[in-house]
Structure 1
C-alpha cells in the first residue's frame, strides 16, 4: 500500500496569536477578549470562530471542495457561512485556481435485460464512473463516483461551474432524459423528458453552457435529420432548455452538422463542436452556440489547421480558451489555441495560434483534456490512458489510470458548491 504522509494540522492558535499581537491589527481586542471568555465557558469551541467572518470566509474560499465539504460538518456556524450564496460565488470564482481539476472517467458494461414484458431480451448499456483526485500530484488517487443508478445509463455531456450534465436514452429506451448533478453536494435536477428521436434521425448531440450575464444554465440539443447520405440534404434542428424552465424550445436550424467530436465543450460563453458546414460538406470547422443570444453559426478552420483525415481532430479548453488538436500525422500532434475569440472573417488565421507540436507514436485517438498546474498538458490517449506532457518536454507521463484494459471516456471537472436546483421561471 502507498505510504500516506500525515499532514500537520493547520496552526489556528498561531494564526490567532499573530492577529492579536499585530500592532497594525484593526480588530477590537477588548471585544475579542470578551468573546473568548464566553467561548471558554463551552467545553469545546473552535478557535477559528474568533476571527472576523470576512477573514474566515476568505480562507474558506481558497480551500479545495473536499476540504470545504468536511468543514461544513464542523459546526452550525461554518455550515451556514459556507452555504451562503455569496460565499458559493466567491469560492466559484477561485475554484479554477485551487489545484488541478478532477478527471472523471467512465467504462461501459453491456447488460441483457430478460424482462418478461419485452418480446425479446434487450441489450442495455450501463456505465461505471470514477474520478481521479490530485491528478499528477503526490496524492493522486482513483475513487468511485457515487451516482443515482438512473445516471449510470446516461453519458456525461458537459461540465460547467462544478455541475455535470448527463444526457441520453433512458434505461427502457423510450425516452431521452437529461439531468444536471453536483457530485460533491449530491444535488440534482431533471430537465423535461424528450421523446425518442425518430428513425431517420441518425445523430443527436448535447451541449451544456452558462450565460454569465443572466446567471442561467442551458442545455443544447442538436438533432441530425436525414434519410440520405448527402450532407446538403441534412437538417440539423436545435433545441434548448434553461434550468428552472419546464420545456424545451426550438431555436431553429444549425448551419453546421456535428461530427467527430464525442461531446461539445464550453468556453467564452459559447458551446462548441467540431462540424461540417451544411452548405459545403467538405468545409471543416467549429460549430458555435452563443448561450446568451442563442444564435448558431459556423466558422471554418484555415487550411494549415486541417487534418489529413477528417476524424483526426478534437477540441478542448486550455486555460479557458478553445483549443484544437490535430493528430492526423503519424509522428506528432499539433495543438492550436483560439487567442482572439471574436476575430472573424478573412483574418480568422490571426485568431488561431499554434502552440506546439508533440511527438507521439501509435495514435488512434487523442482527446485534449486540460492544462495542469505543473504546466503539463493532459491528453486521453487512444481511450486507454491519461498522459501528460510538457509542450517542449521529452517523454509523456502516464497518470491516473494505470493498467486499464477497458475503453474509457474522460471529462474535466472542477469541484464547487453550485446548486443545480434553480428557481422556477415564469
Structure 2
C-alpha cells in the first residue's frame, strides 16, 4: 500500500485538508480509508479545518426555485452549475440557510390562511456535497381564536455544540381581520424549533419584539440573530430596526445584543457573520455605510468599527439594503446589495477596505455561502 510508511496521524492530517469531493472518491481506495473518512471524529476534524481556514467555500444561488453552485474564486454567473436539489414543489418562495455544510430549505409563499393551515410547505435538510437529504416532519400552525391569516416572518438554521444537534427555527406572525393581532403593539406569533436528534418540533415562548426584519436569521455563537423593531416602536415603511434580538439554541432564551453608541441613530441595520464573529452594517442613507464587528460576543464595548464608506464615491447612493456576507481569502469583504423590498434580487459587491475600492461581481439573485462537509443526516439520509 502507498501509505504503509506513513503514520495514521500524518494520513489524517493530509486527508483532512482535502476538499469533500476528493474525500468521497478516496473512500473507495480501501476499507481502512473508507472507515477513516466516514468516522465522526474525522468528519468533525475536516469541517473544523475548513471553517478555520475559510476553504472548501461554495456560493449557492437561488433563482426562481433553481439552485446553482459557483466557485468562490471565480464568482461569475457564467460559471454557475445547476444543482439537482430535493425541493421539487413549484409553489411558494424558496428560502435557503446553511450551517456546517448542510443547507436548510424552507418552502414559503408568505401568507397562509386558517383554511389552508394543513398546507404548510415542507422543509428539507440537504448536504449538497454528499447529495443526501432529509425531509422534516410536518408541523401544523396553531392559529389563535381571533386569527384568520399567518405570515411566515423568520427562519433560522444552526448547530448546538453542547448536544451535537442541528436545529431549525420557524417564526410565524398572525393577522386578524384588520392586520396584526396585537394588544398595545404586542403582536402574537408562533415560534417552533426542530431538533435533528429527536426529529421533532416543539413550541417555545413567543418572540418579545414587534417585528423581525429580513426573514433569514444570522447564526453565530450558538444563537440565532435578527434585526428587529421593538414592541414599543411605531411601525412604518421608513422605520429602521432598533435592536438585535437573539435566541440561544441551548436554552431557547431570548436576549438583546447591545449595540455600539452612535451619534446619529437614524440608520438601516443589517447583520451578518464575518470570521465567525457577529457583525453589523449600519447604512446612514445618502451619507455613509459603517461596518462593525463584535470582537467579544455579548460585550457592548467590544464592538469595533472596521471601516466607513462615504457615499456616493464607492457604492453609489445607499438607499438600499446592504448586508455583509463573508471575507475573501485576500481579506476583502463580500457584500450583498439590493433594494429595500422583500424577495428582490441582490447584487454581490467585493469591497477592499485597504484600497477603499469596490467592484460589482457578475452574480445576482438570492444566495448563501456553504462549506463543503461530510456531516451526516443520520440513518435516514436521502429519505423522502
Partner of 1:254: 207
Distance 1:306 1:179 in 2: 42
Higher mean displacement: 220-229 or 82-91:
220-229
- Answer yes or no: is the 8 Å Cα contact 2:257–2:298 preserved in 1: no
- Answer yes or no: is the 8 Å Cα contact 1:308–1:328 preserved in 2: yes
Higher helix share: 1
Distance 1:136 1:168 in 2: 29
Distance 2:37 2:263 in 1: 46
- Answer yes or no: is the 8 Å Cα contact 1:210–1:216 preserved in 2: yes
Note the aligned Cα RMSD (angstroms).
Answer: 2.9
User: 1:63-78 maps to which residues of 2 (within 5 A)?
Assistant: 63-78=18-33
Give TM-score scaled by structure 2 length.
0.80
Among candidates 322, 326, 343, match of residue 370 of structure 1: 326
* Deviations 1:192-238 (CA, angstroms, capped at 9, x unpaired): 21235754323431111111011111111112124345671312332
Correspondence 1:216 to 2:161: no
Partner of 1:26: none
Distance 1:84 1:352 in 2: 39
Quick one: structure 1 residues 412 and 389, their matched pair in 2 at CA, closer, same or farther if it must change by over 3 Å?
Answer: same
Partner of 1:165: 104
User: 1:360-399 maps to which residues of 2 (within 5 A)?
Assistant: 360-363=315-318, 364-382=320-338, 383-399=345-361
Among candidates 89, 92, 99, match of residue 44 of structure 2: 89
Higher strand share: 2
Shift of 1:378: 0.4
Distance 1:393 1:273 in 2: 31
Distance 1:409 1:279 in 2: 32
Give TM-score scaled by structure 1 length.
0.73
Distance 1:418 1:58 in 2: 18
Partner of 2:303: 352
Distance 2:79 2:374 in 1: 22
User: 1:12-161 maps to which residues of 2 (within 5 A)?
Assistant: 47-48=2-3, 50-96=5-51, 97-99=53-55, 101-108=57-64, 127-135=65-73, 141-150=79-88, 155-161=94-100
Among candidates 235, 243, 262, match of residue 188 of structure 2: 235
Distance 2:359 2:317 in 1: 15
Quick one: structure 1 residues 300 and 54, their matched pair in 2 at CA, closer, same or farther if it must change by over 3 Å?
Answer: closer
| SS in structure 1 at match of 2:262 | helix
Distance 2:67 2:186 in 1: 38
Quick one: structure 1 residues 421 and 374, their matched pair in 2 at CA, closer, same or farther if it must change by over 3 Å?
Answer: same
5+ long unaligned stretches in structure 1: 1-38, 40-46, 109-126
Among candidates 400, 407, 411, match of residue 368 of structure 2: 411
Paired residues, what number?
Answer: 346
| SS in structure 2 at match of 1:176 | coil
- Answer yes or no: is the 8 Å Cα contact 1:289–1:295 preserved in 2: yes
- Answer yes or no: is the 8 Å Cα contact 1:99–1:134 preserved in 2: no
Shift of 1:262: 3.3
